[in-house]
Amino acid sequence: MSRDYFRAMIVALSVLAAPVMAQDEKQKPKTALDVKAAAVRTFFVDDVAGSNQVSFTSQAPIEDITGVCNKVRGECRVDPKNIESFTGRFAIRVEDMRTGIELRDAHLRGEDWLDAAKHPEIVIDIKKVEDVKKTGSTAATLKLIGECSIRGKSRAIEIPASLAYLDESPETQKKVKGDLVRLRAEFKVKLSDYAVTGPKGSDMVGLKGSDEIELRVAVYGSTERPPKPLEA
């Protein structure tokens, strides 16, 4: 058979497949919130928009550790008429993590643990969402799907979360300009998945520190881009 024949067959198949692909695109679920905005918007995570916080808990046989980081940065994008469009990237600096004991914080930043010198940030990169369910006129639950990077290692992660959307109003303008979005989530990570094992030859992970860490996150973002930090 000639090349022209195969080319004609490929064109014909593509024409036949186009309506099916268009139909599949229309059938994708779109969860819409009852808000004014109706397009993809970018939200900037900043302390001005709300009190961002990541708390972490380690429960080991001989010691419980609770820590917190109040500085979260990043941004996310979402169409409130299509929550399935959500993507985002969030990060905290290891040096901003606090457990209440300065010596323990220094160990946490050290090369035997999170190694802040070589890997200063913990990053969660959200590629897509699934299982979106509307829970109120301006709120929904969803599963965030993406990657978590700790100590230079990246692993796939799924995070159950809740989202709330606030249109800009005279009340919200007292805090910050722009529409607001709030994310809350609770999930767990294993240190061993990211090659965090503590000092070599020790039993620190498992005895004084748990391999499984529980995290609670509250993140706020605004469509108003935060001002750039002052340069030295």
Tell me the per-residue pLDDT of 83-106, one tens digit each, with 9 for 90 and over: 999 999 999 999 999 999 999 999
pLDDT tens per residue, range 2-38: 556 556 555 555 655 555 454 555 567 899 999 999 8
- What sign results for the dihedral spanned by CA atoms 53, 59, 60, 66? positive
DSSP state string for 138-193: TEEEEEEEEEEEETTEEEEEEEEEEEEEE---TTGGGT-SS-EEEEEEEEEEEGGG
Task: Report the percent of the chain where pLDDT is more than 70.
Answer: 85
pLDDT tens per residue, range 103-119: 999 999 999 999 999 99
CA–CA dist 105, 116 (Å, integer) = 11
Euclidean distance between the first and the last CA atom of the chain, given in angstroms as a whole number? 71
The reported pLDDT for the residue numbered 11 is: 53
pLDDT tens per residue, range 137-149: 999 999 999 999 9
Give the pLDDT mean for 124-132.
98
CA–CA dist 126, 145 (Å, integer) = 6
CA–CA dist 229, 121 (Å, integer) = 19
Per DSSP, helices labelled H in the chain are 3-27, 102-109, 204-207
Structural contact between residues 167 and 179, judged by C-beta atoms closer than 8 angstroms: yes
Query: Above 80 in pLDDT, residue 155?
Result: yes
Q: How confident is the model at residue 194 (pLDDT cuts 50, 70, 90)?
A: very high
Q: What share of the chain is helix, strand, coil (3-state, %, to 5)?
A: 20, 45, 35
Phi, psi of 86 (to 5 degrees): -60, 130
Query: Above 90 in pLDDT, residue 199?
Result: no
Q: Which residues contact 104 (CB under 8 A, 6 or more apart)?
A: 65
The reported pLDDT for the residue numbered 175 is: 85
Bin 36: left if φ > 0, else alpha if -120 < ψ < 50, else beta. Answer: alpha
Query: Above 60 in pLDDT, residue 151?
Result: yes
Q: How confident is the model at residue 79 (pLDDT cuts 50, 70, 90)?
A: very high
